[in-house]
Structure 1
Amino acid sequence: MSSLVRLAQLGLVCLSIAGNALCAGGIFTFPLISPALATHLKLTQPQLTTIVLAGMVGQYPFAAIVGKCIDKYGPWACSLIASILFSSSFGSFSLEIAKTADDVLQPSASSFQRLTVFFFMAGLGTVFSYFSALFAASKNFPDYIGVASGATMALFGLSPLFLSVIASTFFTNPDAGLQVSSYLMCLAVLVGLVNLCGAVILRSSKKSVQDREESGAETSQQVQDVEEPDERAPLLPGKAPTATIDVSTVDEGATVVDLLKNRHFWVLVMITLLVCGACEMIMSNTGSIVLSLPQSSNPGMKVTSFQRSGTDVATSAQVRLLSLANTISRLFFGPLADYISPVASYLPSGERAFPRQHFISRVAFLSLSSMLLAITLFSVQLNVRTQADLWLLSVGTGMTYGTTFTVLPSIISSIWGLSNMARNFGILSYAPFIGTPLFSYLYAFVATSHAPDNGICQGASCWRFTFWVATGASIVAFCGSLYLWREWKGRL
């Protein structure tokens, strides 16, 4: 009987983890609401960029604090905090839009500032919710930590798709388009309740997790010797080691100063800044990119109010494609990298061992992602003329983003060891924290310069220059990856 209770409790925990991960990506559906903010609140492109960046940036600086909260109190506490943040942020965002008159002619500075704060709160809620799901999965399934964390990451990648389906199915009117205020209020209630239930369920499972840890002391010790997974960890655990290499090639004891003095680390920072910064710029501005293009090949066609529903549907489709491409690339390239470019593990003798035959450097996946982004952006410049053509941009961006973040942690652990992996990866994570605003504001100001007075930018000129810059940046990143491939030959 006790085993059945334990299984039922574990089933509830799995549902809670899946719910938290699947509902945590609300900020990534901003492209769905940005056209309405532009037309209803009359917000400019730089203002829209500032709001979405507040949400994107809100995830990065507080990751270490959230991690400490997990370590001290457990995943349930983060789920509770996420519930409060999501409910208050999305609910306040919805009310701010609802109280704005339809005939407003100029954007309100105070309203813009409040929306920015609300979206920042939503971004902070995202990292609390995501971490609660990820580390609850790893703690409840210590014997299958790779699969558990990988499944959680995949569900998080599908979150924008899931939420966009809700938006298009229940809150999109064929004539008026997306009912933004109602959709955001639904997010406030849905995501708040999911995380609140998660706090209760994960809290009740705390004792059973401790019991399993005590009964499986040997397994727990093995888990403690492995770094906690993060969003970009490989998806499947390796097999028994078969080949060894000299551990002296690993800079295991490097301090922060040593790391910052290492030219190879700065090349890796540059690659991450350029590739991930460009990808997050596209992901943040998908709505305005769609809005800049006509729905048909008629060059004189403009996006008017009676065509808005079609534009909202096109934006939703691009968000779904981005989400699917991001998730599928993680599920495909994670196991592929583990198989053809296995990460070395440490032996008691102090040597490192490859679990399988090593075929190619893991840096090759960075080369692949940066070149894929360059080809995607170049093709978009030549071939995209209507909203339907943007599938190429969404698929290429999603695959680039997923592939890059899948291999970065393993590269860091292979070169600088496991003891400071979280610290080193945390330092590297500031690269997109810088790159995303740089590319996003470049896009915003270029689009504004081609827009009529107090109007919405129309045509490929809104993003052509920005995409050419991003194409050049991805080529530079590709060259940097080739440099690291040569410098790190035989090490990973």
Structure 2
Amino acid sequence: MSSSPLLKPTEDAKDAEYRGARHASISAGTSRSVTPRPPSPPASEALSIKRRKRLQWLRYSAGACALISCLSAGSILLFSLYTPLFQRHLRYSQMQINMIAIAAELGMYLLVPIFGWVCDNFGPDRLSIVSVFMFVPGYLFAAYCYTNKLPWAAMFFAFFLIGGGTVSMYLTGITTCAKNFTKKRGLALAIPISAFGLSPFWMSQVANAAFTKESEDGDGLIELDIQGVYTFFALYLLGVGLLGSLFLKVYPDPDLDEITLRGETAPLLASSPTAAEHTEYGAAVLSNDPHDIPPVVKRRLLNDDTRNFLSDPTMWWFAAGVFLTAGPGESFINNMGALIKTIQPASSTTTSTGDETAVHVSIIAITSTIARLFSGFLSDYLGPPVEPAPASDETEPENKRFRVSRILLIIIFTALMLIPYLLLSSGYIQTHPQQFYIISSLIGVGYGAVFTLSPTIVSVVWGVENLATNWGIIAMLPAGGASVFGLLFASVYDSEAGRQNSGEHGLGNGLCFGLRCYQRSFAGMAASCMIAIGLWMWAWRGRGGWLARGVSV
């Protein structure tokens, strides 16, 4: 009789005994408790050498394609390059420009739960096809809107599609890596997220090098060719999306048996109903190949995970903190082009500052990429372990290892992001505009680390198997944060611009210069980050928090 590659129990009695042991372990504490293992066949019987090599190659090829997808998904982060031209040629106000940016945020964040559900249930390869149907019409329509100077509402719809394409392609990358490489969860998430953060760097360089033209106003200035850039992105992302539909798949790890696999993907919270379900479904779940789980069983498992996730109060405290930190970061990135003009004298900034904005876009991309990789490394090597408990003879050195909670890490990086908001609201940068690189660097570091550590914490506390859906639910909230703080910046800016442009000596074009154009908005952003730190501390160490429930984050 041929041996099966699936690690399945063969006797009902052993199944019952094993399920009972798992229930006892779960009810006693964390789902990471050491439990009796059913007998495993020799490795030679579980997987042939040829199949093991093939699975390894497939997993690494999927990981490489995931990095390409993430490295190509961040075109929306170039938005600050477009805002001066929207303001100059299309005569959009700062409020209208922020409404277009909000459209992209809504497309990115409100669609995440839907796309996450598609990714978890049907695979990242299917979601890659969805990204094609969002990116291509979005960028082609945006090019048409700019060329024909259509009202801002038309551009609003175009950027909503672009935002949807961004998050769908981004989710395909991080989900593929997270589910194919579960041993080093922090790096498995940090590397594709870092690739996403790096994407605006090379895109901004390509845009400024290959897509420039003489200004339409006939003043001899060189500016960005918006129509050419948008057409290029439509064609390029079409190719990347089709590539992902072929290679972005989840494969079993041949080096993991079924117990290790379930231990790494099951949630840490002992109250999770899914922890028991993982055992109750018996042989249907005891497989190290996700394709072998019946769809009905898989959907029920994922639905139970989602219900448990939504009913956990600590999730809402944590999500509120993400809301309060992501919103200011998104608002800064979207309005950086206008802000760079604002902090300099009016006589020197009535012309395009596209080159300077591109430099700071690159600074944010590079610093956020370094921060994503560094924070992922710290999460794996300093954070509490999330894999099954080691054997007794390995416990001693493990306990002596220096550990830092992932919550402390995210608080430290949020504090770094708080500093530039304080510098802007205090007026320091207004008198030292040449030091704006400090602002863009610190925000890049904080923004990148928060968006790496947040999904990592979600995967540690609530498990990786339903990560796309669970993180997708939390990722809806930054859309609200970006909207609130984007509108806050726009209202303060337009109000002061209206005052400056009134009378005979107005500057015109709806432009605003000076500290009063942004001081109150960045003071609000600083307060927002402080509140987020308090909420994360409460979710961690407050009444009924993770520490009280024995969850090592």
Find the partner of 2:382 among 300, 317, 340: 340
Paired residue for 1:287?
Answer: 337
Paired residue for 1:33?
Answer: 82
Letter in 2 for 1:291: K
Once the 2 structures are TM-superposed, how far is the Cα of residue 179 of structure 1 from its aligned partner?
Answer: 1.6
1:44-82 Cα shifts (integer Å, max 9, x gaps)? 111111111111221222223223333454333222222
Counterpart secondary structure, 2:109: coil
Paired residue for 2:126?
Answer: 77
Distance 1:463 1:193, change over 3 A: same
What is the 5 A alignment of 1:466-477? 466-477=521-532
Find the partner of 1:325 among 367, 384, 401: 367
Counterpart secondary structure, 1:42: coil
Paired residue for 1:172?
Answer: 212
Once the 2 structures are TM-superposed, how far is the Cα of residue 202 of structure 1 from its aligned partner?
Answer: 2.1
Paired residue for 1:455?
Answer: 510
Once the 2 structures are TM-superposed, how far is the Cα of residue 190 of structure 1 from its aligned partner?
Answer: 1.6
Q: Does residue 278 of structure 1 match 2:278?
A: no
Distance 1:136 1:260, change over 3 A: closer
Paired residue for 2:412?
Answer: 368
- 1:364–1:481: 8 Å Cα contact kept in structure 2? no
Paired residue for 1:134?
Answer: 174
1:349-383 Cα shifts (integer Å, max 9, x gaps)? 9xxx9965353333212321332222221223343
Q: Does residue 202 of structure 1 match 2:247?
A: yes
The 2-side partners of 1:259 and 1:143 are apart by: 23
1:238-258 Cα shifts (integer Å, max 9, x gaps)? xxxxxxxxx8x8543499888
Distance 1:143 1:427, change over 3 A: closer
Counterpart secondary structure, 1:177: strand
354-363 vs 329-338, which deviates more? 354-363
Q: Does residue 63 of structure 1 match 2:109?
A: no
What's the TM-score once normalised by structure 1's chain length?
A: 0.78
- 1:32–1:287: 8 Å Cα contact kept in structure 2? yes
Q: Does residue 440 of structure 1 match 2:514?
A: no
Once the 2 structures are TM-superposed, how far is the Cα of residue 133 of structure 1 from its aligned partner?
Answer: 2.7
The 1-side partners of 2:178 and 2:258 are apart by: 11
1:397-452 Cα shifts (integer Å, max 9, x gaps)? 11112222333344445556678766654443333232221111000111100113
Letter in 2 for 1:50: M
Letter in 2 for 1:338: D
Distance 1:399 1:59, change over 3 A: same
1:115-174 Cα shifts (integer Å, max 9, x gaps)? 111100011111221222333445666777765544322211111111111111112358
Letter in 2 for 1:478: I
- 1:363–1:484: 8 Å Cα contact kept in structure 2? no
Distance 1:364 1:136, change over 3 A: closer
Q: Does residue 383 of structure 1 match 2:428?
A: yes
Once the 2 structures are TM-superposed, how far is the Cα of residue 335 of structure 1 from its aligned partner?
Answer: 1.3
Paired residue for 2:505?
Answer: none
What's the TM-score once normalised by structure 2's chain length?
A: 0.70
Once the 2 structures are TM-superposed, how far is the Cα of residue 396 of structure 1 from its aligned partner?
Answer: 1.3
- 2:264–2:388: 8 Å Cα contact kept in structure 1? no
Q: Which has the larger radius of gyration?
A: 2
Counterpart secondary structure, 1:324: helix
Aligned residues: CA RMSD: 3.7
Letter in 2 for 1:75: P
Find the partner of 1:155 among 195, 212, 216: 195
Counterpart secondary structure, 1:49: helix
The 1-side partners of 2:71 and 2:239 are apart by: 13
- 2:138–2:161: 8 Å Cα contact kept in structure 1? yes
1:20-67 Cα shifts (integer Å, max 9, x gaps)? 221111111110111100110000111111111111221222223223
- 2:264–2:387: 8 Å Cα contact kept in structure 1? no
Kindly tell me the number of residue pairs found equivalent between the two proteins.
Answer: 445
Paired residue for 2:354?
Answer: 312
Unaligned runs of 5+ in 2: 1-49, 215-220, 275-303, 502-507
What is the 5 A alignment of 1:410-449? 410-412=456-458, 424-449=470-495
Once the 2 structures are TM-superposed, how far is the Cα of residue 264 of structure 1 from its aligned partner?
Answer: 4.6
Once the 2 structures are TM-superposed, how far is the Cα of residue 464 of structure 1 from its aligned partner?
Answer: 1.1
Unaligned runs of 5+ in 1: 101-107, 230-246
The 2-side partners of 1:172 and 1:227 are apart by: 48
Once the 2 structures are TM-superposed, how far is the Cα of residue 302 of structure 1 from its aligned partner?
Answer: 4.0
Letter in 1 for 2:158: F
Distance 1:323 1:79, change over 3 A: same
Letter in 2 for 1:376: P
The 2-side partners of 1:143 and 1:484 are apart by: 26
- 2:328–2:481: 8 Å Cα contact kept in structure 1? yes
The 2-side partners of 1:18 and 1:86 are apart by: 18
1:67-105 Cα shifts (integer Å, max 9, x gaps)? 3333454333222222232121111111211123xxxxx
Distance 1:361 1:48, change over 3 A: same
Paired residue for 2:254?
Answer: 216
Paired residue for 2:35?
Answer: none
Find the partner of 2:272 among 245, 249, 252: 252
Distance 1:250 1:462, change over 3 A: farther
The 2-side partners of 1:371 and 1:143 are apart by: 29
Counterpart secondary structure, 2:349: coil
- 1:279–1:397: 8 Å Cα contact kept in structure 2? yes
Letter in 1 for 2:156: T
Find the partner of 2:95 among 46, 56, 67: 46
Distance 1:7 1:172, change over 3 A: farther
Distance 1:217 1:407, change over 3 A: closer
- 2:272–2:308: 8 Å Cα contact kept in structure 1? no
